[in-house]
Amino acid sequence: HGAIWEWGALLKSTTETVLHISIFNSLLTAAHGLSDEQREFQKVAFDFAANEMAPYMAEWDHKEIFPVETMRKAAQLGFGGIYVQPEVGGSGLSRLDTSVIFEALSTGCVSTTAYISIHNMCAWMIDTFGNTEQREKYCPDLCSMEKFASYCLTEPGSGSDAASLLTTAQLKGDHYILNGSKAFISGGGDTDVYVVMCRTGGKGAKGISCLVVEKGTPGLSFGKKEKKVGWNSQPTRAVIFEDCAVPVANRLGEEGQGFTIAMKGLNGGRINIASCSLGAAHACVQLARDHLLVRKQFGETLSNNQYLQFRLAEMATKLVASRLLVREAATALQENRPDAVSLCSMAKLFVTDECFNICNQALQMHGGYGYLKDYAVQQFVRDIRVHQILEGTNEVMRMIISRSLLTES
Amino acid sequence: MSGRVLVGVKRVIDYAVKIRVKPDHSGVVTDGVKHSMNPFCEIAVEEAVKLKEKKLIKEVVAVSCGPQQVQETIRTALAMGADRGIHVEVSGKDYDNMGPLQVSKIMAALAKKEEAQLVILGKQAIDDDCNQTGQMTAALLDWPQGTFASEVTLEGDKVKVVREIDGGLETIKINTPAVVTADLRLNTPRYATLPNIMKAKKKKIANVKPADLGVDMASRVEVLRVDEPPQRQAGMKVETVEDLVGKLKEAGRI
């Protein structure tokens, strides 16, 4: 029986924490309802996650390593600009394809996948709202991850109330002079291209424009690297503008269009973040299941305990329900349906909440071991906790959904 | 030389799946179980694609024998860089009984038909571990064979093959056309890229029947029964060397 042992041993030695998510129990398989081509995309993403990410996710978290080389490897496979147009280096895939890919990658490392999704969102914004020069200047390098991007909307004084942002951009000749600061910027300080929402006009959303600011621009500096509970494979810093001069040629779209661009970016971003939560939850359900089958107390395996059986069933059910909602939202966004924005908000709200609960319950099922960093389940819990907060808090999601419900036409 | 390489790819149960024997002991459960390309076949495809990238050969043709589902396996080969595929349709009892003899007859017929310069196969499949198809194919064609290859170098109309053998490494030089079988360390198969997966959709897969190739699928082997490996027995601890020798003598081991 030499060959399979040989093969398995070689793989085991390099992938100790491989969860074989892709071949898990057919009830939970993420491949249901996908086309052959989508299953191929998914397979590549699962393989990449198992081989290139899962073995390192604990180290990246512990040592706070931003895994540039690994992300560039992912970009070589087409993961740098998944829904960016091919003529500027993207893969030209759909929102659903993208969701499937991020869900699979997330099983290897949530934090890194989440950053890749933010990078993708920025690349898409430039691709969609940029003119030819801007697209040709930025998109190819972003798609190959020769350069990395950050999305800059939140400020110390404006989180949920994003439209009240204060960073100003005063027009002086053929430059905007930026003053202000952004907070909690993923990748901030280590990335090269900053997509910045700033105020060129009056108050409110209509006064906001979107500028692309390059690292190294005089007047652009960064705060200290934040110490976080999770998402440790990506640095988070404040981004500070002090009389930072940015060419008018770097403005995406028209003056006053910035807020719309930001929100349109976030619709996709919300699906991506929810997809990352899905991957984590799937991994945790498998980890919990495996643990229940092995751990014995009171003379039998935990899997014989009805409470835990029922708990596992609930977790699995919520996982499948979550997946269906995310994929429906992705399809709605792709088709530009009128309900797309609300569906994306619903998906983000429901899925990030449910998947956090799934991961948290999986941790509980591990007992004391669940609290040790030797076990992956705690990292999934820590990493996806923030998905309920960023890209629009789950409270803001409720605002969007209720507004849609109450302003019926 | 035609510059054409034929690569055989087999659809097998994924290496990570826990195999279960059917209740009637006629085989293993395959329904609803994840299948993938045989890992050694992936290595074979990778080697062929590398040769093409080095411009040493012109075309890579991926071949698989089986029912409709093997087209997935051919598509994976296309996504890795193979140029076109050939699906040899085998299903039902013929597929259940298909083994190296039938496949090697098919590969030999195709190698002649396609005027292949090289046939590259995985050294063995992880489901049956036969390690015969490459050797039989070479014999049927009366071609030289370089099996258990850990290194393949094209040198004009010859191939230098470094083989992993029990005693170490053996280097041979064989004339083309030839059959090579890929061993584990030959290369590390690439991930398919998203653009290549999409391009693969447009690549052609031809359908062929064994009868069209003049191949008789009748099996000379009958599987009587399939069982799980015996359960590992508990060991025994002994206190002294004398005890150990005594127990070994009792068990008839010495």
A135-156 pLDDT per residue, tens: 999 999 999 999 999 999 999 9
Mean per-residue pLDDT, A58-86: 98
Q: Give chain A positions within 8 Å (CB) of B194.
A: 41, 44, 77-79, 82, 91, 93
**Maximum alpha-carbon separation in chain A:** 79
- Chain A, window 91-150: residues with a beta carbon less than 8 angstroms from a chain B beta carbon: 91, 93
pLDDT digits (tens, 9 = 90+) for A280-328: 999 999 999 999 999 999 999 999 999 999 999 999 999 999 999 999 9
What pLDDT, on the 0 to 100 scale, is given for residue A25?
A: 60
Chosen domain end from A144, A166, A186: A144
Structure-derived torsion over alpha carbons of residues A5, A7, A12, A18, reported in degrees to the nearest 10: -120
Q: How far apart are CA B191 and CA B79, in angstroms?
A: 9
DSSP-derived 3-state class of residue A305: coil
Cβ atoms of B136 and B101 closer than 8 Å: yes
Q: Quote the number of domains for chain A.
A: 3
DSSP-derived 3-state class of residue B200: helix
Q: Which amino acid is at A219?
A: G
Bridge partners for A243 per DSSP: none
Q: Give chain B positions within 8 Å (CB) of A36.
A: 72, 75
Tokens of A204: 């409110």
A409 pLDDT higher than 70: no
Interface contact flag, B76 A37, Cβ < 8 Å: no
Tokens of B236: 């025994």
Q: How far apart are CA A223 and CA A226, in angstroms?
A: 8
| H or E element at residue A335 | none
Q: How far apart are CA B19 and CA B6, in angstroms?
A: 30
Distance from CA of A389 to the nearest CA of B (A): 31
A237 pLDDT higher than 90: yes
What pLDDT, on the 0 to 100 scale, is given for residue A22?
A: 52
CATH number at residue A217: 2.40.110.10
B147 pLDDT higher than 60: yes
A13 pLDDT higher than 60: no
The answer on A113 and A80 residing in a single domain is yes
What pLDDT, on the 0 to 100 scale, is given for residue B251?
A: 87
Of A26, A36, A93, the CB nearest to B32: A26
Domain span at residue A167 reads 149-256
The answer on A263 and A250 residing in a single domain is no
Chosen domain end from A128, A144, A160: A144
The answer on A154 and A252 residing in a single domain is yes
The answer on A172 and A297 residing in a single domain is no
A86 touches chain B (CB under 8 A): yes
pLDDT digits (tens, 9 = 90+) for B91-143: 999 999 999 999 999 999 999 999 999 999 999 999 999 999 999 999 999 99
What pLDDT, on the 0 to 100 scale, is given for residue A17?
A: 39
Whether residue A1 is contained in a domain is answered as no
What pLDDT, on the 0 to 100 scale, is given for residue B253?
A: 86
Chosen domain end from A224, A256, A288: A256
Whether residue A9 is contained in a domain is answered as no
Catalytic residue among A255, A391, A395, A408: A391
Whether residue A22 is contained in a domain is answered as no
Residue with tokens 């930072």: A244
3-state secondary structure A204-233: CHHHEEEEEEECCCCCEEECCCCCCCCCCC
- Chain A, window 45-84: residues with a beta carbon less than 8 angstroms from a chain B beta carbon: 47-48, 76-79, 82
The answer on A400 and A263 residing in a single domain is yes
Whether residue A324 is contained in a domain is answered as yes
pLDDT digits (tens, 9 = 90+) for A355-383: 999 999 999 999 999 999 999 999 999 99
Q: Give chain B positions within 8 Å (CB) of A82.
A: 194
B130 touches chain A (CB under 8 A): no
Q: Report which DSSP code applies to A164.
A: G
Residue with tokens 């993208």: A98
Strand B205-208 versus strand A193-199 pairing type: unpaired
What pLDDT, on the 0 to 100 scale, is given for residue A1?
A: 37
Mean per-residue pLDDT, A17-27: 55
B233 pLDDT higher than 90: no
Q: How far apart are CA A2 and CA A203, in angstroms?
A: 71
Whether residue A13 is contained in a domain is answered as no
DSSP-derived 3-state class of residue B141: helix
Residue of chain A whose alpha carbon sits nearest to that of B196:
A77
What pLDDT, on the 0 to 100 scale, is given for residue A15?
A: 35
The answer on A116 and A154 residing in a single domain is no
Of A7, A18, A78, the CB nearest to B194: A78
A212 pLDDT higher than 90: yes
pLDDT digits (tens, 9 = 90+) for A195-209: 999 999 999 999 999
Cβ–Cβ pairs < 8 A, chains A and B: 68
Whether residue A263 is contained in a domain is answered as yes
Most B CBs within 10 Å, among A14, A23, A82, to test the B interface? A23
B194 touches chain A (CB under 8 A): yes
**Phi and psi of B8, rounded to 5°?**
-90, 135
Q: How far apart are CA A169 and CA A196, in angstroms?
A: 10
Name the residue with higher pLDDT: B215 or B1. B215
Of B16, B126, B195, the CB nearest to A91: B195
* CATH superfamily label, B4-251: HUPs (3.40.50.620)
| H or E element at residue B180 | strand B178-182
What pLDDT, on the 0 to 100 scale, is given for residue A364?
A: 98
Report percent pLDDT > 70 for chain A: 93
Mean pLDDT score of chain A: 94
Residue of chain B whose alpha carbon sits nearest to that of A35:
B72
Residue with tokens 């447009």: B202
Report percent pLDDT > 90 for chain B: 88
Q: Would residue A391 show up in a list of annotated catalytic residues for this protein? A: yes
Whether residue A333 is contained in a domain is answered as yes
B221 pLDDT higher than 60: yes
Interface contact flag, A40 B79, Cβ < 8 Å: yes
The answer on A122 and A66 residing in a single domain is yes
The answer on A374 and A301 residing in a single domain is yes
What pLDDT, on the 0 to 100 scale, is given for residue A21?
A: 57
Mean pLDDT score of chain B: 95
Mean per-residue pLDDT, A103-126: 98
Q: Which of A22-31, A52-61, B16-25 has the lowest mean pLDDT?
A: A22-31
The answer on A180 and A68 residing in a single domain is no
Domain ranges in chain B are 4-251
CATH number at residue A273: 1.20.140.10
What pLDDT, on the 0 to 100 scale, is given for residue A6?
A: 53
What pLDDT, on the 0 to 100 scale, is given for residue B37?
A: 96
Give the ipTM of the model, two decimals please. Answer: 0.86
Distance from CA of A266 to the nearest CA of B (A): 24
The answer on A399 and A280 residing in a single domain is yes
Q: Which amino acid is at A329?
A: A
The answer on A337 and A312 residing in a single domain is yes
The answer on A247 and A174 residing in a single domain is yes
